[in-house]
Structure 1
Amino acid sequence: MADRTPHGDFYGALGVPRTASTDEIQRAYRKLARQYHPDVNSDPGAEERFKEVGAAYQVLSDPDQRRRYDRFGADFRHVPDDVDERAHADGRTRYTSAGRGVGGFEDIEDLFSGLFRGRGGGASIPGADQQAELELTVEEAYRGGHKHLTLRGSGQRDYDVTIPPGVMDGQRIRLAGQGGTGSGNAAAGDLYLIVRVKPHRRYRLSGRDLHIDLPVSPWEAALGATVPVDTPGGEVKVRVAPGASSGRRLRLRGEGMPDPRGKPGDLYAEVRVMVPKRLRKRERELFEELAAVSEFDPRGT
């Protein structure tokens, strides 16, 4: 991805100082990404701004890339990994490359003139890495599988993405060689897809744990019952103990998000006692009878 930020100023693109912490950079990115995402912002410049923010975050969220950017500026990607930076007494900064000895590059201008000197004056520069967001439902993140993705920018590109089961919000999926095109004979960069798990009407994610509401009837709560629970992996049964009130949490071990490298999360079902909005005649009679004989006081101590 080419540097889309003004003068390659990644810190300015995110609105953070150069001393910003990793958490500050992440918060700034998420705020701006939501603000300028083309799906929610129809402003003509929103998509370009979204790409600028993404390019800046890609660099500043990676400690190695950030360190090189701070040292070499916007052209840091063109500086070989083995370049050594040294300050000399005359105030000039010298750069040397492994294998060149003391007589290496004298300054940054010499360095870049060497990099771009090739056959016919052409340059062989690796393609830049790019990034985009990949939105998934909780069920898609849980199951994994394959998803078709279309990215629109300077041109439309289609991808078939393999999603690992249990992928988490913020996790990156790497598509090798699908980033920016290199010049000369250099390889293309990689495309990194940042997973964004969409809010769900039933499931609430907390790490790998899932939280849901479990509606039960007054008699199920009072007498106890075995009730079905829908999970991303399918329906399971849970035992509600007698006397369960709203707010009681039931833990279903291992029914949360899977983890390819360890044990899965848990699912927590929170009891919600529900009452009928309309009572039939017989139901009303039974509730009235219960009210007359019961000594239960929900407001008592």
Structure 2
Amino acid sequence: MSLRRFEYALAVAEAGSVTAAAAESLHVAQPSVSQQIRGLERELGVTLFARTPTGLVPTAAGRAFLRDAEVAVRAARRAKATARAGAEELGGELVVVAQMGLGTRQLPGALGALRRRFPRLEVTVFEEADPVELERLARRGVVDLGLIAGPCREELYEGHHLGDEEFVVVTSPEHAQLAAERVELRVLEREPWIRFDHDSALDAVLRDVLRDNELAPVTVARVSQTATAVRWAAQGLGVTLVPTSAVPPGFEHLTRPVSPAVSLPTVAAVRPGAGPAETALLEFLRQERWNCTGFSGSGSGPAHNWVTPPSSTNSAPVV
């Protein structure tokens, strides 16, 4: 059973057809792909794909096979990249996941430095708001490095504390609270709130903040991305609470830290026995500024540090 057949099956599953997989990702003749898939199915003794009006879709057996095939292919690519690293020819793919918009400001600089050191390396970055999905990806071995809030599962990844990041409230330019250096959470109870998807780690933070401060404001919108929440708040739809680094450039003047202060540790979760790419990226991330506080200063009044506690139902960190 060759690794190449695994790659063919994964390409067909992603493209939804043999023809598209052959032309767009594999760059081989369509009959060759069909032959490899048929040979793989004979070897496994199962049917991997079912033909539907919209294209090929994996069968139940196919989905189970593809999950492990993806892990195997990534592991093989990582091993190849590690073997070539000694000759300064590090290649392959590095998958980075940022939880709840963490590292929006710091990650680009670190990745730029990484690409300059290893120009042949392909880097894929995506945000994953759902902690359950993030853990699923980690257990499948898909994630090489994750930026998460709080501790990580030590049996899966090693955690490296980068710093603590303060959350800020974002309002419209006309909002009276912009006159203050630090906004009391209690004065925001009557404000409409822009929140995040129910299952997201960001909404878990906000939910705990509101609960701990005995606030029950009206929710006017739920979004998936921190940048969307900031832009909608700037237009006067409501207020929102986001990590400082997740505020897009040009909106800093609309942010204020809150009292009591809300902050979370930012952790780089790296696979045990990390290769040169993960190690180098961690090195560059450490060089970035992570102890972020509100753009307008820390304020003169007393404020305590608030860190979201893990709970059995809404735990956020989990690579």
TM-score by length of 2: 0.23
Considering only CA atoms, is the larger Rg found in Structure 1 or Structure 2?
1
Q: Counting strand residues as a fraction of each chain, which structure ranks higher? A: 1
